[in-house]
Chains A and B, each alone.
Chain A
Amino acid sequence: MNELDRVTILVVDDEELNREMLQVMLADLDVTVHLACNGKDAADQLSAHPETDLILLDLEMPIMDGFELLEMLRWHATLRDIPVIVITAGRSEVTRTLSLGARDFLTKPYDREELTLRVMNLVRTKKLTDMISDLNNSLEMEVARKTADLRAALEFSRDAEYEITLRLGRAAEFRDLETGMHIRRISEMSSELAELAGLSAQDCETLRYASPLHDVGKVGIPDRILLKPARLDDKEMHIMRLHTTIGGMILGEADRYPVLQAGGIIALQHHEKWDGSGYPDGLAGRDIHIFGRIVMIVDVFDALMSVRPYKPAFPLEQVLAIMEKDRGVFFDPELYDLFVAHVEKFTAIRDRLQDSSNELEPLFEFARLSEVGFNVT
């Protein structure tokens, strides 16, 4: 009788004889029996034992009778699922009790076998209902857990994409004379200027992670050119400029990866100039993607503000004076004006993300004046 394990039955009758007879007859079923002598007492017992599986209910009782208890149970949020067998001394009340929600009835005198069979039938049904309800609850919990896992996995994959772009950016930076902090400053500054230009929060975020990739194509430029300690000749300059095209190729065909795709656009277009004199495609004005136009401004600004093997750090006034001449030539004039109007935001980023002293010292020993496309003198 495994299915009757841990079965709890509430017997409700005002006559002690009836209660005790039922208790004796149920004893063989190995169930826990609670006793109540009226409806009120039964309600208290059910509060104390909400796990009750079945109620055996007499109808005529003082204080609160069986009909009242049935009515109360019918509207109860949880107790209404407990099946009730009504005990009657005649068939006259059967219809009324069944219409009040009783599942079955039993007439006096009690017969042990009949009682056992009726009780077992209902208890089995109750246990199955409980099992299904438990199963539903655990399935719901499982679905919630899986959904959370999925969300976490999605977040992880997005983080992974960001992480890859940052590290790819760092890889390129080791081929160049730029510092790790330069990459991070470009990232922050690009995002800042994008926000000033009214780009969506998502685009700003994309740009924050894509802009470090602007020079990734430098991994394809030979050392003799990249690290040449002298001015590049025309042929070398032509090869050097290929870093834009190479970056576009490295990051191309990335429709499914918005950050890599943006990185590809930036790598390809960050040397395009507003007047069409840039490279590799000579794009002009708004034909240059706004990401490219933004990175062009902050990249030049940060380079001018920084120490390089071939130049000292210029003070802000001098930097702005140099850049002003290229407003509308190199730079998108509207973006440039926004940049200048909020230049303190960009100097604050520089203050926050300063170069560590000797990060690239060994490289500096080899490198001399390898200006790349932007002549500061």
Chain B
Amino acid sequence: MCITAAPVLPVFDADDLLARIGGRSELIPRFLELFRNGVARQREELAAAVSSGDADAVRIAAHAVKGSAANISALRVHDIAANIEKNAIEGHINAAVTQIPDLHEELDRFDRCSREQFP
């Protein structure tokens, strides 16, 4: 199952995505592919930003993940990316960095979950 018990947010709210694109489910695999491609790059950028300790680069990369996640209805990825961005904006670089493993974990979870629903 894609919905875990503890946090309320779904990993992948496919119904929400479907509603926003006017019920055209045939487009979802294409969007998922684009999301994965984009996120792969964003992950690299995030890793580079963290290793160089560049708070602004962290903010930009997290912001990009947040936007894409919102569009693809990856609600938990969106939630964590938003938190990282917020911490980066407020200068809490350490807090931002500690959340990055969670982000990777949620991204992986989204990947598995979305592949199950749209193989």
Contact = CB atoms under 8 A, between A and B. Distances in A.
A21 B67 contact: no
A16 B34 contact: yes
Interface string A103-125: 00000111110000000000000
22 contacts: A15-B64, A17-B31, A17-B34, A17-B37, A17-B38, A20-B30, A21-B71, A24-B24, A24-B27, A28-B22, A58-B67, A60-B60, A89-B63, A89-B67, A89-B70, A90-B66, A108-B66, A108-B70, A109-B16, A109-B70, A109-B71, A110-B71
B67 A18 contact: yes
B2 interface: no
B60 A17 contact: no
A25 B71 CA distance: 12
A17 B72 contact: yes
Interface in B42-83: 60, 63-64, 66-68, 70-73, 82
A17 B71 contact: yes
A89 B66 contact: yes
A112 B68 contact: no
B95 interface: no
B37 to A, nearest CB: 7
Given A24-B27, A60-B63, A89-B66, A16 B38 contact: yes
Contacts of B63: 60, 89
Contacts of A89: 63, 66-67, 70
A109 B66 contact: no
B68 A17 contact: yes
B82 to A, nearest CB: 8
A232 B83 CA distance: 124
A89 B62 CA distance: 11
A307 B89 CA distance: 110
Select the residue from B17, B22, B37, B38 with max chain A CB neighbours within 10 A: B22
A336 B70 CA distance: 102
Given A17-B72, A18-B68, A109 B37 contact: no
B21 interface: yes
A112 B21 contact: yes
Contacts of B20: 109-112
B60 A15 contact: no
A111 B22 CA distance: 9
Interface residues of B, number: 24
B71 A18 contact: yes
A126 B64 CA distance: 31
Contacts of B70: 89, 108-109
A28 B64 CA distance: 27
Given A24-B24, A25-B21, A108 B71 contact: yes
A25 B22 contact: yes
Given A25-B21, A109-B20, A112-B20, A20 B67 contact: no
A111 B37 CA distance: 22
A20, A24, A109, A111: most-surrounded residue (chain B CB, <10 A): A109
A9 B94 CA distance: 42
Contact of B31 (A20, A58, A108, A111): A20
Contacts of B38: 15-17
Interface string B4-29: 00000000000011001110100100
Contacts of A109: 16-17, 20, 70-73
B21 A24 contact: yes
Contacts of A21: 21, 31, 71
Contact of B67 (A16, A108, A112): A108
Interface in A241-279: none
Contacts of A25: 21-22
A17 B35 contact: yes
Contacts of A15: 38, 64, 67-68
A90 B70 CA distance: 11
A273 to B, nearest CB: 103
A18 B30 CA distance: 12
A139 B72 CA distance: 50
Given A24-B21, A111-B20, 18 more contacts: A14-B64, A15-B67, A15-B68, A17-B34, A17-B38, A17-B68, A18-B71, A20-B30, A21-B21, A21-B71, A25-B21, A58-B67, A60-B67, A89-B70, A109-B20, A109-B72, A109-B73, A112-B22
